[in-house]
């Protein structure tokens, strides 16, 4: 019995591996057929290094490794790149305007400016630093260049006034993030140590289509900067033109026709031919398969029942209503409102559609009256499409109608052609974001 079960499991595993290999090969062929970017075209990138110069940095970076990684970045600067530098403590200071590093004198001047990073500031005014970096990119950035802010900080917003801190965080999270998005500026945030406001940096990076990282010691900073260098040095793929969508009409219930039952598996002629052994062999094979399946089912039933009981007990302990502030949608295209990118998910079931009765109203003709819902249950959030005309996509895969898809932080959701991001600020999304917790040369103990 056990050997039969093992044999079937091996066949299933081999089948799955074969299918996976076919999918990988197919995807590779598809990727090769896609139009590659012009290798002869020089990538233009304007980068502002936004560096925390507050006094707390001296304890976390006593060897001034930040200077070293910026210097290494300059030494390997690629053609078409321009760099600038802003530091911030109680106030923001532009110590190097955007410029090319074409000569030895340019490099020496920039490296001399790095000596002004002394970690002697009293406070951490991050919003002021971001605003100054945005202003420099808007004023001196090239129109046809990628615009990047690389932010590194080890603390939270601290101006010495609690009310000003709260107002500064809101300004950074909402207005400055929107300014970056409208200007095409991506923010790559590095939260240095556990004291850094990782949630704020995560939100800022997601809203500007950048990336965010977390490090716990100065030795990890070089690896993070190398990853950032690789990302911004790779041309961004242009979006393929979207297929035209038709105007959504009110949902109409269509009758469902039940097809007549299929005829008998074996033709009458075959049944009548008693001398033909094929029906007997086929019947025997079917019986053997049924017996094996039943034995496997009985063998696993007790284990499944136990797991189900544990799961039901765990689900009973979970809150029935979504915790406030746990989840939100990021309106990346400002189709809901023009003033705020963040839409909180506060109800157990959030209705999304064109009709005014929905919780989130998307006033576009391609959106159905009731397009989709996001439901909170058993401690998780689920996305469901309600037979919308132009469909719902999750991470570029179409969501089948009336089928619940579990969401995770950082997921991309498209209602028709309008893109949103699902964000749980307390959680980092799995798969897309690099979380640096140790140097790249050390083993990953969590794997």
CATH of the domain at 408: 2.60.200.20
Domain boundary among 233, 255, 274: 233
Evaluate whether residue 405 is within a structural domain.
yes
Evaluate whether residue 213 is within a structural domain.
yes
Let me know whether 222 and 91 are in one domain: yes
DSSP label at residue 244: P
Evaluate whether residue 251 is within a structural domain.
no
Let me know whether 220 and 103 are in one domain: yes
E strand or H helix at 96 = strand 92-99
Among residues 202, 174, 187, the alpha carbon closest in space to that of 146 is found at: 187
Evaluate whether residue 115 is within a structural domain.
yes
Evaluate whether residue 153 is within a structural domain.
yes
Let me know whether 197 and 341 are in one domain: no
- Overall domain count for the chain: 2
pLDDT in tens, 254-274: 554 445 444 444 454 444 444
Domain boundary among 212, 233, 254: 233
Residues listed for the chain: 447
**260 contacts: CB under 8 Å, gap ≥ 6:** none
pLDDT at 277: 64
Evaluate whether residue 250 is within a structural domain.
no
pLDDT at 427: 60
Evaluate whether residue 143 is within a structural domain.
yes
**293 contacts: CB under 8 Å, gap ≥ 6:** none
Cα separation of 248 and 429, whole Å?
A: 32
**Which parts of the chain have pLDDT scores under 50?**
1-2, 4, 14-37, 239-240, 251, 253, 256-258, 260-266, 268-275, 428-447
pLDDT at 30: 43
User: Three-state SS across the chain?
Assistant: CHHHHHHHHHHHHHHHHHHHHHHHHHHHHHHHHCCCCCCCCCCCEEEEEEEECECCHHHHCCCCHHHHHHHHHHHCCCCCEEEEEEEECCCEEEEEEEECCCCHHHHHHHHHHHCCCCCCECCECHHHHHHHHHHHHHHHCCCCCEEEEEEEECCCCECCCHHHHHHHHHHHHHHHHHHHHHHCEEEEEEEECCCCCHHHHHHHHHHCCCEEEEECCHHHHHHHHHHHHHHHCCCCCCCCCCCCCCCCCCCCCCCCCCCCCCCCCCCHHHHHCCCCCHHHHHHHHHHHHHHHHHHHHHHHHHHHHHHHHHHHHHHHHCCCCCCCCCCEEEECCCCCCCCCCEEECCCCEEEEECCCCCCEECCCCCCCCCCEEEEEECCEEEEEECCCCCCEEECCEECCECCCEECCCCCEEEECCEEEEEECCCCCCCCCCCCCCCCCCCCCCCC
pLDDT at 158: 87
- Domain span including residue 72: 45-233
Evaluate whether residue 152 is within a structural domain.
yes
pLDDT in tens, 102-140: 888 888 899 899 889 898 988 899 999 999 999 999 999
Predicted TM-score (pTM) of this structure: 0.55
Which CATH number does the domain housing residue 158 bear?
Answer: 3.40.50.410
């Amino acid at each position: 019995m056990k050997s039969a079960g093992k044999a079937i499991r091996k066949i299933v595993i081999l089948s799955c591996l074969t299918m996976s290999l076919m999918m990988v090969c197919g995807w590779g062929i598809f990727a090769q057929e896609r139009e590659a970017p012009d290798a002869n075209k020089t990538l233009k990138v304007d980068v502002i290094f936004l560096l925390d110069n507050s006094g707390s940095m001296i304890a976390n970076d006593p060897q001034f490794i930040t200077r070293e990684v910026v210097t290494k970045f300059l030494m390997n600067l690629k053609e078409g790149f321009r760099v600038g530098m802003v530091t911030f403590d109680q106030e923001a200071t532009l110590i190097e305007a955007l410029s090319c590093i074409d000569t030895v004198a340019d490099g020496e001047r920039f490296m001399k400016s790095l000596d002004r990073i002394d970690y002697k500031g009293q406070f951490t005014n991050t919003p002021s630093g971001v605003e100054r970096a945005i202003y420099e990119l808007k004023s001196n950035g090239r129109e046809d260049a990628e615009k990047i802010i690389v932010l590194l900080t080890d603390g939270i917003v601290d101006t010495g006034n609690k009310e000003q801190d709260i107002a500064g965080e809101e300004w950074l999270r909402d207005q400055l993030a929107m300014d970056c998005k409208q200007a095409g500026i991506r923010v790559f945030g590095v939260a240095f140590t556990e004291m850094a406001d990782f949630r704020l940096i995560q939100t800022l990076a997601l809203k500007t289509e950048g990336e965010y990282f977390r490090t716990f010691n100065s030795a990890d900073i070089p690896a993070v900067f190398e990853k950032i260098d690789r990302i911004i040095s790779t041309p961004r793929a242009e979006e393929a033109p979207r297929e035209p969508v038709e105007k959504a009409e009110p949902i109409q219930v269509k009758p469902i026709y039940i097809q007549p039952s299929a005829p008998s598996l074996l033709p009458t002629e075959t049944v009548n031919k008693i001398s033909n052994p094929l029906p007997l062999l086929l019947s025997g094979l079917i019986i053997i398969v049924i017996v094996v399946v039943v034995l496997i089912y009985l063998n696993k039933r007790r284990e499944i029942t136990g797991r189900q009981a544990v799961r039901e007990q765990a689900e009973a302990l979970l809150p029935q209503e979504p915790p406030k502030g746990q989840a939100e949608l990021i309106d990346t295209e400002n189709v809901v409102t023009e003033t705020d990118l963040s839409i909180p998910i506060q109800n157990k079931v959030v209705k999304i559609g064109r009709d005014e009765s929905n919780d989130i109203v998307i006033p576009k003709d391609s959106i159905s009256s009731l397009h989709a819902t996001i439901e909170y249950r058993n401690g998780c959030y689920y996305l469901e499409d309600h037979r919308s005309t132009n469909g719902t996509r999750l991470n570029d895969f179409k969501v089948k109608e009336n089928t619940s898809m579990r969401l995770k932080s950082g997921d991309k959701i498209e209602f028709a052609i309008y893109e949103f991001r699902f964000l749980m600020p307390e959680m980092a999304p799995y798969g897309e974001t690099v979380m640096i917790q140790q140097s790249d040369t050390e083993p990953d103990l969590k794997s």
